[in-house]
Amino acid sequence: MSSIKISFALLFIYGILAQDSLGLSPVILIPGDGGSQLEAKLNRTSVVHYICAKTSADYFNIWLNLELLVPFVIDCWVDNLRLEYDNVTRTTRNPVGVDVRVPGWGTPEPVEWLDPSHDKSGAYFNSIADALVKIGYVRNVSIRGAPYDFRRAPNENAEFFVKLKTLVEDTYNTNNKTSVTLLVHSMGGSMALHFLRLQPQAWKDQYIRRLLSLSTPWGGAVKALKTFAIGDDLGSRVLRESVLRAQQVTCPSLAWLLPSRLFWKPQEVLVQTDKYNYTINDLQKLFTDMNLPDAWEMRKDTEQFSTDFSAPGVEVHCVYGYNISTVDRLVYKPGSWLDGRPLLAAGDGDGTVNARSLAACEHWARRVGYTTSTTTLNNKPVKALPLPNAEHLDILHDPRVLDYVATVMRRP
């Protein structure tokens, strides 16, 4: 069969499938930090350990690949997935001989499952996609996916926003010109907010039905600061924070997720030591003292995306958890600054993001109207749904959330 006949056949099939979800707002899933599969191809001249491969015949899954996240082998993973910052171009690059790509653009599979083998430990948007299928949605037709390189912030993801606009329009047209719901998790909500601010209001009125947000760190999180200080073990009992930190601190997205000046007061102490108490105004000194000069440069590059908190100009559903111990401040014992592990003073949140950041979307709901940098908009509904004990990642599989998503998405 010729390629033309195949194309027509696929269009016919997609047309039939689209009829099955007629009237339902098609969904594009936008993941958070760590929520997209990543593939790598190697052609290196040197490696950090003799057990590390220098070359690979083809691309292989590097995130999430549990076989690479084990002691000793993790050193190879860190060296392959780290970024190198250039403070002249203000951009990052992969190490020489490493090519990293994001597979599966437009399809939900790489954001439903971070592990291509569908190991349960790599389950991400799959429960939500299953819930949507039960009410009439069809994968790859009315459920789409928008994966991206989550290591980078908006300043290095310009191509993603261009592709996302095209994906929204294609999904709209494929589904009988039905406006699209952006269903987002964590940092994906911040990416979506930036994307929507880039679009004219007329375009949003035509193509976007709603933004359905789960656990978005609208104002950043102290946990990002904790990761810069000591790393994050990703919930594993066998991985050391300090080892993973070597990769994590190279990511501009981590600098973007630092607490925002809009939601942390200048006098609030974020890092307490016997020598100095660091506030939101002391991040340059903090990163200098930590010997992380690139972290401050990346903060300067990305802070521009956190200074405007105007509403997105679409209907918003803001679902988040609370009543879970969440790091609020780092407290170092006398004499332990830069060497020891700090006490993680806790406050309210979802275990990852602080409550004030998760609930920031409620500021939009309190306003009679709101203004963007370009125009004054009419009211857009903002629905906040705080859920007790809904953990940051587990919220994706929480029955309360699945029910809420299904209820909202049944509406035209």
Full DSSP string of 8-53: HHHHHHHHHHHHHTTTSPPEEEE--TT-S-EEEEEB-S--SSTTS-
Q: What is the pLDDT along the chain (412 residues), one digit of tens a residue?
A: 444 443 444 444 444 444 445 689 999 999 999 999 999 999 999 999 999 999 999 999 999 998 898 888 999 999 999 999 999 999 999 999 999 999 999 999 999 999 998 988 899 999 999 999 999 999 999 999 999 999 999 999 999 999 999 999 999 999 999 999 999 999 999 999 999 999 999 999 999 999 999 999 999 999 999 999 999 987 665 578 888 999 999 999 999 999 999 999 999 999 999 999 999 999 999 999 999 999 999 999 999 998 889 999 999 999 999 999 999 999 999 988 888 889 999 999 999 999 999 999 999 987 634 333 323 345 789 999 999 999 999 999 999 999 999 999 998 7
**What is the helix (H) or strand (E) element at residue 159, kind and residue range?**
helix 158-174
Residue whose C-alpha is closest to residue 283's, from 341, 216, 228, 351: 228
Kindly list the structural domains of the chain, giving each domain's residue range(s) and its CATH number in brackets, ordered by start.
Answer: 25-35+104-221+307-409 (3.40.50.1820)
Residues 6+ apart with CB under 8 A from 40: 56, 59, 60, 62, 80, 81, 98, 99, 100, 101
Amino acid of residue 327 = V
Calculate the dihedral angle through the C-alpha atoms of 61, 110, 401, 163, rounding to the nearest 10 degrees: 130
Cα-based distances in Å from 86 to 24, 227, 256, 298, 354: 45, 21, 17, 10, 31
pLDDT, residue 12, reads: 42
Q: Classify strands 316-322 and 326-331 as parallel, antiparallel or unpaired.
A: unpaired
Q: How far apart are CA 223 and CA 216, in angstroms?
A: 14
Q: How far apart are CA 90 and CA 137, in angstroms?
A: 42
**What is the helix (H) or strand (E) element at residue 185, kind and residue range?**
strand 180-185
Cα-based distances in Å from 323 to 218, 389, 390, 392: 18, 6, 8, 11
Residues 6+ apart with CB under 8 A from 44: 54, 55, 95, 96, 97, 98
Residues 6+ apart with CB under 8 A from 385: 317, 318, 319, 320, 404
Residues 6+ apart with CB under 8 A from 105: 145, 146, 147, 163, 167
Name the 3-class secondary structure at 141.
coil
Q: How far apart are CA 47 and CA 59, in angstroms?
A: 18
Question: Could you give the residue numbers annotated as active site?
Answer: 186, 350, 392
Question: What does residue 289 show for φ and ψ, rounded to 5 degrees?
Answer: -65, -30
C-alpha of 10 from chain center: 32
Q: How far apart are CA 96 and CA 28, in angstroms?
A: 34
pLDDT, residue 237, reads: 58
Q: How far apart are CA 194 and CA 370, in angstroms?
A: 16
C-alpha of 286 from chain center: 25
Angle at the Cα of 368 (from 362 to 369), degrees rounded to 5?
95
Cβ-contact 189, 353 below 8 angstroms: no
DSSP class per residue in 312-374: -SS-EEEEEEESB-EEEEEEPPTT-TTTSPPEEEEESBBSSSBHHHHGGGHHHHT-SSEE-SS
Q: How far apart are CA 80 and CA 47, in angstroms?
A: 9
